[in-house]
Structure 1
Amino acid sequence: MKLSLGPLQYFWPRERTLAFYREAAQWPVDILYLGETVCSKRRELSTRDWIALAGELGESGKQAVLSSLALVEAESELGALTRMVENGHCWIEANDLSAVQLCRERGVPFVAGPTLNVYNHQALSMLMDDGLRRWVPGVEQGHALLTELRDAMQAQGRPMPELEVIAFGRLPLAYSARCFTARALDLAKDQCGFRCIDYPDGLPLATREGRPFLRINGIQVQGEEITDLGPELPALRELGVDVLRLYPQAEGMADVLAHFDLARHSPQPPPRFGARNGYWHGEPGMRPVG
């Protein structure tokens, strides 16, 4: 079972981002996803910078994958995506169907990201014909749904692609053309001042009663809980999961990687670092921290 470091969901300063990935090159992680997936205005690192960083990390023995935006809304964003697809070295994580189309046209292998909304075996088979090599199901797709989809693929006589499940981090729940961070700070989206950079783990949002509820991250809304599927490793292995995705956090990621690296080589499931993921069990996603 491999470990992957999912794309950085937050907006960090350039030097902090580069330092994070220099450190990550020494961690027991097999796959590194690189690129901006949330907001095209976040330009501390350009597309050229991400491609260069992918080349450097690939030389360290990791697989570097370039991740696309979840919402492609402008010609400039499509142009940046085209340059990413045409880099000539890396797979692409397609988080929007425009990325799938570009990869299909150019014969570039791609990972179907969690925002592609693949809910049945027919859609998965179609994407495999287009060049899909690995699939990351959406955050709400739990054990039962994945089992049904796997069985349907087997009945159709088709092998499953590599299966990558989000095992650790705050779950990305929704995206919008509106910037929630700018709205929360009473700013216009086009004059946001890049205030996301002030919140390296997102802007906490509480209920009126003061209970932690969500994290606002630009145009993305996340769950407040840091979910952890570590204790579900026996079920993940039985299901045939190939890759565990861990989303970057501002602090403590080296310890998280060491924890999961030990867990994947152990016959016993590890203690829980974060919260139980209700979605995995077909229940509401929110659960108290374990």
Structure 2
Amino acid sequence: MKLSLGPLQYYWPRSTVLDFYQAVAEMPLDIVYLGETVCSRRHELRQSDWIDIARMLRDAGKQPVMSTMVLLESTSDVADMHKIVRETEFMIEAGDMGAVHNLAGQRSFVAGPQLNLFNADSLAWMASLGAQRWVAPLEMRQADLAALLAAQPAGLETEVFAYGRLPLAFSARCFTARHYNLPKDDCGFSCIQHPDGQTLSTREGEAFLVLNGIQTQSARVHNLIQDIPALRATGVDILRLSPQSQHMAQIVAAFDAARQAAAPDRQALEALRALMPGAACNGYWHGQPGLNLVPAQP
């Protein structure tokens, strides 16, 4: 079973991003997804910078994948997507159907989690267009994934989002700008002040959601480290970890140890609690509300 690092969802200063990926080069990861997938106004790094990072990671033994944005809102966004998919040096993760359209029949690609492939017919169709790998929808439960993989096209890799705050929705509105009473087109790039997003709490003070520009995330951290045996038995090839601003090396090391362990460590989740920016959850995988945490089975 391989480990991947998903695309950076937050807006960090340029130096922070460069330092982060220098550290990633030393982590026991197999695949690293790169590029801006949330907001086209984030310009700390340009496409040429992402290419340079990809080459550095390739030299370190990783497989770099360039990810496209999930929500395209303007002609310039479409032009940026075209520029990324024309890049033939690295594999592409298609974030939306526009990217799929441009890649179909031209080269192999990764079908991203927001494409919502929920049944065997859609998965077979995506494979026929050239998908080499697909990322299961975030809310897919184990039983449904197992049934889907029973009819999976030959040679198609399956990746599951296994750690991080869940990207639940994308909107044309920027919620971070709205919080600061700023228009979206003059937002002052205020999301750079929140390296792990901005927590939205209920009136009772319970963390509910996280605002990340136009993206809404879960406040709780989806964590499947105790479910790795079930993931392996289901036929999952790759576990995706989502970047966070602190303790990423320790998180990756914990998942690396768990995927190699002869027997599951029932204390693995507990050991990670102090390293996570929020409480843990794994409800979707178990067919429950996503914010639930189903304990490891004895």
TM-score w.r.t. the length of structure 1 is 0.95
Corresponding letter in the other structure for 1:82: H
Q: Which residue of 2 aligns with 1:19?
A: 19
Deviations 1:92-147 (A, max 9, x none): 11110011111115x22211111001111111111111110111111101101111
In the TM superposition, 1:173-192 aligns within 5 A as 173-192=168-187
1:288, distance to aligned residue in structure 2 (A)? 5.7
Tell me, yes or no, if the aligned pair for 2:12 and 2:195 is still in contact at 8 Å.
yes
1:289, distance to aligned residue in structure 2 (A)? 10
Tell me, yes or no, if the aligned pair for 1:150 and 1:160 is still in contact at 8 Å.
no
Q: Which residue of 2 aligns with 1:31?
A: 31
1:230, distance to aligned residue in structure 2 (A)? 0.7
Q: Which residue of 2 aligns with 1:227?
A: 222
Partner Cα separation in structure 2 for residue 151 and residue 160 of structure 1: 13
Q: Which residue of 2 aligns with 1:87?
A: 87
Residue 268 (str. 1) matches residue 263 (str. 2): yes
In the TM superposition, 1:120-139 aligns within 5 A as 120-139=119-138
Give aligned pairs, total.
Answer: 285
Partner Cα separation in structure 2 for residue 289 and residue 178 of structure 1: 34
Q: CA 1:27–1:174 in structure 2 vs 1: closer, same or farther (change >3 Å)? A: same
1:56, distance to aligned residue in structure 2 (A)? 2.0
Q: CA 1:123–1:160 in structure 2 vs 1: closer, same or farther (change >3 Å)? A: farther
Q: Which residue of 2 aligns with 1:119?
A: 118
Q: Kindly report the root-mean-square deviation, in angstroms, between the aligned alpha carbons of the 2 structures.
A: 1.4
1:212, distance to aligned residue in structure 2 (A)? 0.8
Q: Mind listing any 5+ residue stretches in structure 2 that lack a counterpart?
A: 274-279
Tell me, yes or no, if the aligned pair for 1:225 and 1:289 is still in contact at 8 Å.
no
Tell me, yes or no, if the aligned pair for 2:132 and 2:155 is still in contact at 8 Å.
no
Tell me, yes or no, if the aligned pair for 1:6 and 1:33 is still in contact at 8 Å.
yes
Residue 205 (str. 1) matches residue 204 (str. 2): no
Corresponding letter in the other structure for 2:133: R
Q: CA 1:176–1:215 in structure 2 vs 1: closer, same or farther (change >3 Å)? A: same
Tell me, yes or no, if the aligned pair for 2:149 and 2:235 is still in contact at 8 Å.
no
Identity %: 49
